[in-house]
Amino acid sequence: MRKFKVPVVPRTTNKCIRMPNDIIAKIESEIEGKDCSFTAFVIEACKVALDNIEESKKQKSK
C-alpha cells in the first residue's frame, strides 16, 4: 500500500496580463469540454516554452 503524503501546493502570485482576444478565444475553444482551466493551460504552455528555450540554449552551446 502506498503511503499517504500531504500534497505541497506551490506558492503562486497573481499576475494580470493582457492577451489578444483571438488567442483567448482559441485557448477557450481548445479547453472546452476538457477538465482544464484557462490558467492551467497557460501555465503548461509557458512551461513548454521555457523548456524549449532551455533546450535551444543547450544546442547552441554544443
Contact 31, 37 (CB under 8 A): yes
Contact 41, 28 (CB under 8 A): no
pLDDT, position 18:
97
Cβ contacts of residue 27 below 8 Å, gap of 6+?
A: 38, 41, 42
Q: What is the mean pLDDT of the chain?
A: 94
Q: Specify the pTM.
A: 0.80
pLDDT grade, residue 1 (50/70/90)? confident
pLDDT in tens, 21-48: 999 999 999 999 999 999 999 999 999 9
Please check the confidence at residue 62 and state whether its pLDDT lies above 90: no
